[in-house]
Amino acid sequence: MKAFFAIAALTVRHAVRSHIFQLLLGVLLLCVLLIPGTAGDSTAAGFIQVSLLYSLSTVLLILALSSIWLGCFVMCHDVDSYQLHMVITKPVSRVTIWLGKFSGILAINTVLLLISTMTVFAIVMWKFNATEFDPEDRTRAENEVLVGRRVFLPEAADIDHITRLSINEKHARMRAAGRELPDDSPQAKEKEYQEVRRQAEALQGEISFGNSKIWRFTGLPADLQAPLYLRYRSYVGRIHHEGQRMTLGTWAVRVPIRKEEKGTEFQAGKTLGFQTFWTTLTPQPESIRTGVFNEKTLRGEWRLVAPDGTLEVGFQNADPRGQKLFFQPADGPKLLLKVASFGENYARCVLVMFLELVILTGLACAAAAFLTMPTAIFVVISYLLFGSFASYMAETSFFGGAADYVGYYVGKLVLIVVIPIQKFAVTEMVSQGELIEMSFIGGLILSYLVVRALPLFLFGIWMYRRREMGLVIRK
């Protein structure tokens, strides 16, 4: 262990002397000090969200570049300068050397990560407390941003089933009208299926004037007494940020009435030992700003969660111009339940950032263990880009031809061995007050660090042990 710590200490000292590292360190300090104090808007929630998102994203980007650069630089420089030739003559294994260098680089970036994130946290909280925001605005920021809230998403519709039913109804209408059915070839069937599927997906988030839509949430704590927050963003006319305006709509919830309780029943339906009825949250259509996120508070004393852990909400379109409203799956509606403090959620965000630095440092050291420095940097960056592109291809739902299917299955195959680095992007979650679940962090550790990254680390160590230093000749 003495040799391990000595190598780690020398690695830290050598890395700090790198001019590129000094440049990245200077940029990091400027970003940490300037962005939290200048970013944001006039609202309390907007200030915190923008400051956290920009600051943490910048910190992670700079430290990611630092991890890749230092990992490749330190591993390759000792070989190119013949310093490693002297070390391996000592009774020190190359595994110890690799682990010592990896730990030294990781220690530098970990210290910088902790200092940066703690500074960002302190500056944001200091400015939030020092600025005289409107009391209502401050309360909203404390409830929506400075908190860790568990996210509950509505049940997804069975798009495949809806698509098949739509195709069958379409063919039935064509037969009744005496029209010729589409070509019966596999290619024609697949093309028709994809077209109808896209239409079905679009209709899931579309609400025409005067119509309504119901979302059903499951897995909620039964007999919940704490408040729930209904978060959503809608679009009017079209799904685009430009041209959005105020509209009107009515939110309603299905209220459960237990059998042992007394209450007036209206449109009641018995199920699993309780009855339910619909009630609106406002006596008349309320004003809603489209294109931005809105939240409604469902108070705990209302006891809206049924004994089976379900809750249903509905929305009716009452747009004054009679236009359609659109809800995208990523924009809600979703239910949020406070389960942790902002400090705890922020610490989980820092932990995920640390996991990303562990992977990047290990990949850089593994590649530089048997490649030259430019080649190692190119390989690591290419590996990360492959992961991003493969994730995009594997998540597509549009198949216009054979090329789309090839891309889809190639993306699925590539994701078995590569790491989509965007899976570690949690800065937006913490800036929105959404809880970073420990199960999510555990999944990142298992799926990406253990299953994908660790074998590459071991391969790099194996290649490092087998590398013939006598073949390294300075030109």
Domain ranges within the chain, ordered by starting residue: 2-147+349-471, 206-340
pLDDT in tens, 410-459: 777 777 888 888 888 888 889 888 899 999 999 999 999 999 999 999 99
Mean pLDDT over 12-38 rounds to 74
Position 105, amino acid: I
Res 402: pLDDT: 64
Per-residue pLDDT band at 356 (split at 50, 70, 90)? very high
Res 396: pLDDT: 64
Is the pTM higher than 0.85? The answer reads: no
Res 271: pLDDT: 47
Q: What is the DSSP string of 252-286?
A: EEEEEEETTS----SS-EEETTEEEEEEESSSSPE
Q: Which of 9-18, 205-214, 460-469 has the lowest mean pLDDT?
A: 9-18
Per-residue pLDDT band at 275 (split at 50, 70, 90)? confident
Give Cα 220 to chain centroid, integer Å.
22
Res 269: pLDDT: 47
Per-residue pLDDT band at 82 (split at 50, 70, 90)? low
| Tokens, residue 304 | 């809206």
Res 266: pLDDT: 41
Please report the beta strands in 141-285, taking only residues with DSSP state E, as ranges in sequence order: 148-152, 206-207, 212-217, 228-232, 234-236, 246-258, 269-271, 274-280
Which DSSP symbol is given to 434?
Answer: B
Res 423: pLDDT: 86
Q: At what angle do helices 373-394 and 342-368 cross, to 10 degrees?
A: 130
Nearest-5° angle of CA 247, CA 251, CA 256?
A: 180
Per-residue pLDDT band at 265 (split at 50, 70, 90)? very low
Determine the Cα–Cα distance for residues 329 and 56; give it in Å rounded to an integer. 26
Res 329: pLDDT: 81
pLDDT in tens, 414-423: 778 888 888 8
- Is 253:276 a contact under the CB 8 Å cutoff? no
Q: Cβ contacts of residue 381 below 8 Å, gap of 6+?
A: 68
Between 419 and 390, the more confident residue is 419
| Tokens, residue 206 | 């579309």
Task: Answer whether residue 51 shows pLDDT above 70.
Answer: yes
Res 270: pLDDT: 47
Residue 462: Cβ-neighbour burial (10 angstroms; 0-12, 13-18, 19+)? middle
Task: Answer whether residue 355 shows pLDDT above 80.
Answer: yes
Q: Which of 71-85, 246-260, 293-307, 395-409 has the lowest mean pLDDT?
A: 395-409
Task: Answer whether residue 104 shows pLDDT above 60.
Answer: yes
Position 189, amino acid: K
When the candidates are 1.10.10, 1.20.58, 1.10.20, 2.60.120, the CATH number that belongs to 206-340 is: 2.60.120
- Is 323:290 a contact under the CB 8 Å cutoff? no
Res 448: pLDDT: 92
Per-residue pLDDT band at 268 (split at 50, 70, 90)? very low
Res 316: pLDDT: 92
- How many CB atoms are closer than 10 A to CB 237? 16
- How many CB atoms are closer than 10 A to CB 179? 10
Q: Residue-wise over 369-401: b if at least 16 C-beta within 10 A, else e?
A: bbbebeebbebbeebbebbebbbebbeeeebee
Q: Identify which of 144, 119, 127, 121 has the alpha carbon closest to the alpha carbon of residue 47.
A: 127
| Tokens, residue 131 | 């600025």
pLDDT in tens, 142-155: 888 888 999 999 98
Task: Answer whether residue 470 shows pLDDT above 60.
Answer: no
